[in-house]
Amino acid sequence: MDPYPIRRTTSARIPTPDGTFQLTHYVDGHDGKEHLALSMGNVREQNSVLVRVHSECFTGDVLGSQRCDCGEQLHQAMQRIAQLGSGVIIYLRQEGRGIGLGEKLRAYNLQDQGYDTVEANLMLGHQADERNYAAAAAILSDLQIRSIRLMTNNPAKIDHLMALGIQIDERVPLQVTVTPDNALYLATKVERMHHLLTLPEMTYFPPTPGLLPALNARLAALQQRAVQHHATTGRPFVTLSYAQALDGTIGGLDKTPLAISGPESLRFTHMLRSAHDAILVGIGTVLADDPRLTVRLVDGPSPQPVIVDSRGRTPLTARLWQHAKPPWIASALGQDQTGPIDALAAAGASILPTPLHNGQLDLAHLLDQLGARGVRSLMVEGGATIISTLLSRRLVDYAVITVSPRFLGGTTVTNGASGLARAMPTLTNTAYTPSGDDLLVWGDVTYTSQPANGHLPAAQVECLIL
Name residues whose C-beta falls within 8 Å of residue 389's C-beta, 6 or more positions apart in sequence: 360, 363, 456, 461, 464
Residue type, 228: Q
Give me the DSSP letters along 172-233: E-------TTTHHHHHHHHHHH-----PPTT------TTS-THHHHHHHHHHHHHHHHHHHH
Rounded distance between C-alpha atoms, residue 324 and residue 347, angstroms = 13
The H-assigned helical ranges of 86-146 are 95-98, 101-111, 117-123, 134-142
Closest CA to 15 of 43, 44, 38, 35: 38
Q: Where are the alpha helices (DSSP H) in 275-314?
A: 283-289
Return all residues near 252 (Cβ < 8 A) that are at least 6 apart: 258, 410, 411
Q: Verify whether residue 129 is a known catalytic residue.
A: yes
**CB distance 304 to 328 below 8 Å:** yes
Torsion of the alpha carbons at 103, 109, 111 and 113, rounded to the nearest 10:
-150
What is the distance, to the nearest Å, from the Cα of residue 408 to the centroid of all Cα atoms in its chain?
Answer: 33
Q: How many residues are there in the chain? A: 466
Dist. CA 221–CA 419, nearest whole Å: 35
Catalytic-role residue among 28, 69, 116, 129: 129
Among the listed residues 80, 131, 235, 393, the single catalytic one is 131
**Catalytic sites, residue numbers:** 129, 131
